[in-house]
Amino acid sequence: MKLKSIWDLANPTRFLGLVNAVLPWLAGITALTFIAGLYMTFFVAPADYQQGETVRIMYIHVPAAWLAMLTYSVMTASSIGSLVWRHPLADVSVKAAAPIGAAFTLLALITGSLWGKPMWGAWWVWDARLTSFLVLFIMYLGLMALQSTIEEPGRAARAVAILTLVGFVNIPIIKFSVDWWNTLHQPASVFRADGPTIHPTLLWPLLVMAIAFSLLFLTLHLAAMRNEILRRRIRTLRLMQASGETGTAATPAAQEA
């Protein structure tokens, strides 16, 4: 019964109905979480004893970096769904997530640079963490370029899914780069086997901001998926129009949307 209700969501029309119902609520909860997170960032979290006020950059840099990697992981899971089960919503999910992941990655790179200059004395260093993160940004751009190069959505989805799976090798490299190599970037201080080393007064605002970023991703991803489903419907109707049909559509794109 539960499996059937999950499978029902595979129908894009039902999925659109669900998205239309939950999106306003999700957007509201995201905005409230951001307000709470930013309040904690500026009025609850203390200045760092070494970095001073500059530590406040952490509350956007770290969640942006986490979400950049999480988005790629979601794209990888969707790519498996696309290649193995040919799930139409999996294709849509991969395509919709890429620009959001690219934006989070760019934000992490920019804020990291702005944090690095006063703390390290350099805007950029070619250390393993920064370089692997730059590779992630290039991967996102490459996936988006590949997607737009192939016109037929089904073929584009397969090519993008394969490249996404290959690119996933970079995610553990980013995560463990600070352990495997000597880097200027500090090692992990939150997700560690022996627990967080960061003080709770700094940790809690960081976690609230991370939840806000996660909710933002969920909201934007669902909204972008809705747009992509509508885009595919438009493509189907245009194909029908071009072939002179007025009623039925039997193209792969029509079946997908």
Partner 1 sequence: MGGDPHTFYIVTSFAAFGLTIVGLVAWVMIDHRAQKSTLASLEARGMKRRSMRAAKGEGA
Report d(CA 220, CA 74) in Å as an integer: 13
**Chain-centre distance of CA 225, in angstroms?**
13
Q: Does 157 engage in binding with partner 1 (CB under 8 A)?
A: no
Q: Does 198 engage in binding with partner 1 (CB under 8 A)?
A: no
List the interface residues with partner 1, window 104-123 (CB under 8 A). 104, 106-107, 110-111, 114-115, 117-118
Closest separation between CB of residue 95 and partner 1, Å?
Answer: 12
Q: Which of 82, 178, 226, 256 binds partner 1 (CB under 8 A)?
A: 226
Assigned token pair, 47: 């200045």
Closest separation between CB of residue 62 and partner 1, Å?
Answer: 12
Using the contact rule CB under 8 A, the part of the chain among 137-145, 173-181, 190-198, 219-227 near partner 1 is 219-227
How buried is 93 (Cβ within 10 angstroms: 0-12 exposed, 13-18 middle, 19+ buried)? buried
Adjacent-strand bridge partners of 48: 52
Assigned token pair, 176: 């463990």
Dihedral (Cα; 90, 214, 163, 93), 10-degree rounding = 20
**C-alpha distances out from residue 35 to 3, 219, 246, Å:** 37, 16, 50
- Angle (CA) 107 174 180, round 5°: 140
Report the b/e string of 145-154 with b at 16+ CB within 10 A: ebbeeeeebb
| 19 to 58: interface string for partner 1, x by CB under 8 A | -----------------------x---------xxx-xx-
Report d(CA 232, CA 253) in Å as an integer: 7
Q: Does 220 engage in binding with partner 1 (CB under 8 A)?
A: yes
In this complex, which beta carbon is closest to partner 1, that of residue 61 or of residue 129?
Answer: 61
Q: DSSP 3-state assignment of 61?
A: helix
In this complex, which beta carbon is closest to partner 1, that of residue 107 or of residue 139?
Answer: 107
Q: Does 136 engage in binding with partner 1 (CB under 8 A)?
A: no
Q: Which of 103, 134, 173, 211 binds partner 1 (CB under 8 A)?
A: 103
Q: Which of 83, 99, 138, 150 binds partner 1 (CB under 8 A)?
A: 99
Q: Which of 83, 144, 198, 237 binds partner 1 (CB under 8 A)?
A: 237
DSSP letter for 47, please: P
Q: Which of 62, 88, 236, 256 binds partner 1 (CB under 8 A)?
A: 236
Query: By the criterion CB under 8 A, which residues form the site for partner 1?
Result: 13, 42, 52-54, 56-57, 60-61, 64, 99-100, 103-104, 106-107, 110-111, 114-115, 117-118, 216, 220, 223-224, 226-227, 230-231, 233-234, 236-238, 240-241, 246-250, 254, 257
